[in-house]
Structure 1
Amino acid sequence: MVHLRTLIFTIVMFPWMLSSAAKSEYMEARKPKTDVSISDYGDLDTDSAVAPKADELPTCLLCVCLTGSVYCEEVSPEMSNVPALPKETAYLYARFNKITKIKNKDFADMATLKRIDLTGNLITEIEDGAFSKLPNLEELTLAENRLTKLPMLPTKLISLNANFNKLKTQGVKSSAFKKLTRLAYLYLGNNQLEAIPHLPESIHTVHLNNNNITTLTDETFCRGNNTHYIRSNMEEVRLDGNPLLLAQHPNSFICLHTLPIGKYH
Structure 2
Amino acid sequence: MKTLLLLTSLLKLLHQVTPGCILHTYIDSRSSIDCDNLFDNFENIKPLKSELVVTVNITQSNITKISSGSFDDFRQLRKISLSGNVIEEIEFGAFSAETFRTQLPFLRILDLSENNIETLPKEIFNHSSTLELNLSSNALKQIEHGAFLNMHGLKKLDLSYNLISSDDEENVLPLGIFQDISTLEKLNLSHNSLKSIKIGTFSLLPYLFHLDLSHNELTHLTSGVFVGTVIQDLFINDNKLVVFEFPNARNVHPTINLANNDFECDSLAMTMSKIHNAFFTRGEIINEPNIFGISCRDNNEIDEDEEEEDNKDFLYDLAMMKYLSIGTLCVSLILMCYLVFCQKNNHDDECN
TM-score by length of 1: 0.67
Task: Specify the alignment match of 2:40 in structure 1.
Answer: 54
Task: Specify the alignment match of 2:214 in structure 1.
Answer: 209
Q: Check the 8 A contact 1:103/1:127 in 2, yes or no.
A: no
> What is the distance in 2 between the residues matched to 1:211 and 1:144?
15
Q: One-letter code of the match for 1:74?
A: Q
Task: Specify the alignment match of 2:265 in structure 1.
Answer: none
Q: Check the 8 A contact 1:148/1:168 in 2, yes or no.
A: yes
Unaligned runs of 5+ in 2: 1-37, 262-352
> How far is the alpha carbon of 1:114 from its aligned partner?
2.1
Is structure 2 residue 117 aligned with structure 1 residue 123?
yes
Percent identity between matched residues is: 19
When residues 179 and 98 of structure 1 are mapped into structure 2, their CA distance, relative to the original with a 3 A threshold, is closer
Q: 1:67 aligns with which of 53, 57, 60?
A: 53
Deviations 1:153-183 (A, max 9, x none): 1232111001000012211222112342210
Unaligned runs of 5+ in 1: 1-51, 224-230
Q: Check the 8 A contact 2:222/2:246 in 1, yes or no.
A: yes
When residues 253 and 115 of structure 1 are mapped into structure 2, their CA distance, relative to the original with a 3 A threshold, is same
Task: Specify the alignment match of 1:198 in structure 2.
Answer: 202
Q: Check the 8 A contact 2:232/2:255 in 1, yes or no.
A: no
> What is the distance in 2 between the residues matched to 1:221 and 1:237?
10
The count of residues paired between Structure 1 and Structure 2 equals: 200
Task: Specify the alignment match of 1:173 in structure 2.
Answer: 174
Q: Check the 8 A contact 1:209/1:241 in 2, yes or no.
A: yes
Is structure 2 residue 159 aligned with structure 1 residue 158?
no
More strand by share: 2
Q: One-letter code of the match for 2:222?
A: T
Q: Check the 8 A contact 1:148/1:165 in 2, yes or no.
A: yes
When residues 101 and 218 of structure 1 are mapped into structure 2, their CA distance, relative to the original with a 3 A threshold, is same
> How far is the alpha carbon of 1:253 from its aligned partner?
4.2
> What is the distance in 2 between the residues matched to 1:99 and 1:62?
22
Deviations 1:165-214 (A, max 9, x none): 00122112221123422100000101111223324121010001111211
> How far is the alpha carbon of 1:81 from its aligned partner?
1.3
More helix by share: 2
When residues 198 and 55 of structure 1 are mapped into structure 2, their CA distance, relative to the original with a 3 A threshold, is same
Q: Check the 8 A contact 1:64/1:71 in 2, yes or no.
A: no
> How far is the alpha carbon of 1:64 from its aligned partner?
11
Residue aligned with 1:145, SS: coil
Task: Specify the alignment match of 1:110 in structure 2.
Answer: 100
> What is the distance in 2 between the residues matched to 1:192 and 1:65?
43
Task: Specify the alignment match of 1:238 in structure 2.
Answer: 235
When residues 215 and 92 of structure 1 are mapped into structure 2, their CA distance, relative to the original with a 3 A threshold, is same
Task: Specify the alignment match of 2:184 in structure 1.
Answer: 183
> How far is the alpha carbon of 1:65 from its aligned partner?
9.9
Q: One-letter code of the match for 2:215?
A: N
Which structure has more RCO (C-alpha within 8 Å, separation ≥ 6)?
A: 1
> What is the distance in 2 between the residues matched to 1:243 and 1:63?
50
Is structure 2 residue 63 aligned with structure 1 residue 79?
yes
Question: Larger radius of gyration, structure 1 or 2?
Answer: 1
Deviations 1:102-136 (A, max 9, x none): 221222313323221011011112332220232x1
Is structure 2 residue 135 aligned with structure 1 residue 142?
yes
> How far is the alpha carbon of 1:60 from its aligned partner?
4.9
* Superposition misfits of 4+ residues, deviation over 6 angstroms: 61-66
Residue aligned with 1:219, SS: helix
> What is the distance in 2 between the residues matched to 1:164 and 1:63?
33
When residues 144 and 61 of structure 1 are mapped into structure 2, their CA distance, relative to the original with a 3 A threshold, is farther
Residue aligned with 2:125, SS: helix
Q: Check the 8 A contact 2:65/2:91 in 1, yes or no.
A: no
